[in-house]
Amino acid sequence: MATILRIGSSETRLCTVSIFEKMGETDHHCNLLIQDHGIDFFKSLLEVLTDEISEKASSCALKVLIKILKVSKKSRLKAIEAGAICTLIELVPDSTRSKCEKIMYLIKLMCESADGRLAFAEQAVGIAAVSEKLLNVSDAATKIGVKFLWLLCNFNPTQKERVVVNILKLHANSWSRYPCFPREMKEYLGLGGVPCA
């Protein structure tokens, strides 16, 4: 179905993203969506947003992204890898109130991870786009914007910290099998669902 999102007609893509939205309403189906689809799934949803097939399709795609990213930290990393932060930042300036709130919430979710903050910091127009909408959209958008700008300011890693995190990620799968591997470290590295041996 993710392939249909990429190559289908406008009507087919709208129907497909609506189906994904319905599937995302239950946690069980949401977990299946996350497991079955990789980065291509996120790229397809982002294409629906950028192509602006219809307002309904964009709204459905945003709802699907919110549901999936709220449930799984691993999915946030996949979305970041798919270029979600860059795409969403480009959509912020021309977005309506509701769409802007959803986009800013998605950016905040991804900025809760070090990779998300790094991806946001690499975007030259990121802070400018958010700052422009910060006080002009709604109270909800202002609160969300302040939260992720706070995350950026307080947790922006140095080069040394990024190297350490990358080393930990390289070895995390083998280390996480041992019971002495800290649960907090698993969550930080996005391995929350990996069982201990």
Q: Which tens digits make up the pLDDT trace of 119-132?
A: 888 887 888 888 77
Residue 48, φ and ψ in degrees, nearest 5? -60, -40
- Residue 185's domain spans which residues? 157-197
Residue 159: what pLDDT? Answer: 73
Indicate whether 57 and 148 sit together in one domain: yes
Indicate whether 150 and 163 sit together in one domain: no
- Please give the full DSSP string across 85-142, using - where no structure is assigned: HHHHHHHSTT--HHHHHHHHHHHHHHHTSHHHHHHHHH-TTHHHHHHHHHTTS-HHHH
Indicate whether 28 and 55 sit together in one domain: yes
How many domains does the chain divide into? 2
Indicate whether 143 and 97 sit together in one domain: yes
Whole-model pTM?
0.73
Kindly tell me if the per-residue pLDDT of 195 is higher than 70: no
- Where does the chain have alpha helices with state H? 2-7, 10-23, 27-36, 39-51, 55-71, 73-81, 84-91, 97-111, 114-122, 126-134, 139-155, 159-175, 183-188
Indicate whether 85 and 26 sit together in one domain: yes
